[in-house]
Amino acid sequence: MRTRRIGSLEVSVVGVGCNNFGRRVDEAGTRRVVDAALEAGINFFDTADIYGDEGASERFLGRALRGRRGEALIATKFGKPMDEARRGARPEYVRRAAEDSLQRLGTDYIDLYQLHEPDPEVPIAETLGALNELVREGKVREIGCSNFSVEQLREAEAAAQPGSARFVSVQNEYSLFHREPEEGMLAECARQNIAFIPYFPLASGLLTGKYRKGAPVPEGSRLSGGRYGTLLSDENLERVEQLISFAEARGRTLLELAFAWLLDRPQVASVIAGATRTEQVRANAAAAVEWHFSDADRAEIDRILGPG
């Protein structure tokens, strides 16, 4: 498994998104996924305080890593509402949220602590000050942000005090089907030397290859209904078929294309994909192939995907 850097952290280029832990995956299932990830060379686990009921994802992940904490790099997040009192990025809450996450994770430090979303009511300088205190105390190694715009990243850069902790990563949605980060974000990451972490890299499963044009939707799958069902449009499924043909013509799979296309961007540090079963983890790890795209390859992918 190759690695890339997020600040001082050497992370595997494939990570595990832990949003299903405590929701679609119970504690025993979490342990199986974590075991499979470590065996496959994955060391990066991304969770959040709001994943699962009352922080269940953090609790399950922490217990699964008990006795082998040093083998893993844990990223977690704060800021999205857990309830009316536990929300936002005010300095006093930053500390409370961190202490709560440390307790749930059963660890005395967090490798990457991320502000889950901007808080328009709190100056970013105040939030950075509180995060810097946690870094100075050794409770947090690096800090990052999520769902930030280019302008908000620049504001944070300007607010960071010399010698103090600064954001070393930004985590936003990015995939073959969602390319907004190409509109300035990746360039800003390169300028600030900030790692980019894409979430929903498989477009909520659309890029796994299990959804095919003319075939029934797998029962119980994520895209079988609800707010994700709109992804299964005829237009998107036709694009999937063309992407599968593109990959197979080069001896690759759609899953390999989805991972390699993201990792072709030097700003992308780790592709975090959710997993509910061990076979998904192994498939994701195996998909992190080195695939260097030619200009013609990129143009063909752009043609398949079309505008937007």
pTM for the full predicted model: 0.93
Residue 213 lies inside a defined structural domain of this protein: no
Over residues 192-210, the pLDDT tens digits come to 999 999 999 999 889 998 8
Residue 306 lies inside a defined structural domain of this protein: no
Q: Which residue has the higher pLDDT, 179 or 222?
A: 179
Residue 147, pLDDT above cutoff 60? yes
pLDDT score at 211: 74
% of residues, the chain, pLDDT over 70:
95
CB atoms closer than 10 angstroms to residue 29: 18
Residue 230 lies inside a defined structural domain of this protein: no
What is the biggest distance separating any 2 CA atoms in the chain, rounded to whole angstroms?
Answer: 57
Residue 148, pLDDT above cutoff 60? yes
DSSP string, 1-34: --EEEETTEEEESEEEE-TTBTTTB-HHHHHHHH
Residue 245 lies inside a defined structural domain of this protein: no
Identify the band that residue 214 occupies on the pLDDT scale cut at 50, 70 and 90.
Answer: low
Question: What SS3 state is found at 188?
Answer: helix
Return mean pLDDT, the chain: 94
pLDDT score at 219: 64
Q: Which residue has the higher pLDDT, 122 or 228?
A: 122
The torsion angles phi and psi of 170, rounded to 5 degrees, stand at -135, 135
pLDDT score at 212: 74
Instruction: Please indicate whether residue 228 is annotated as part of the active site.
Output: no
% of residues, the chain, pLDDT over 90:
86
Residue 65 lies inside a defined structural domain of this protein: yes
**Which range of residues forms the domain containing residue 24?**
3-203+254-293
Residue 134 lies inside a defined structural domain of this protein: yes
Positive or negative: CA dihedral 297, 303, 307, 308: negative
CATH of the domain at 174: 3.20.20.100
Residue 228, pLDDT above cutoff 60? no
Identify the band that residue 176 occupies on the pLDDT scale cut at 50, 70 and 90.
Answer: very high
Residue 226, pLDDT above cutoff 70? no
- How many folded domains does the chain comprise? 1
Residue 216, pLDDT above cutoff 80? no
The predicted model gives 145-169 an average pLDDT of 97
Pairing of strands 3-6, 9-12: antiparallel
Residue 112 lies inside a defined structural domain of this protein: yes
Residue 243 lies inside a defined structural domain of this protein: no
Q: Which residue has the higher pLDDT, 101 or 232?
A: 101
Q: Are 285 and 37 in contact (CB under 8 A)?
A: yes
Over residues 39-98, the pLDDT tens digits come to 999 999 999 999 998 999 999 999 999 999 999 999 999 999 999 889 999 999 999 999
**Which residue, among 127, 124, 170, has the nearest Cα to 149 in the 3D structure?**
170
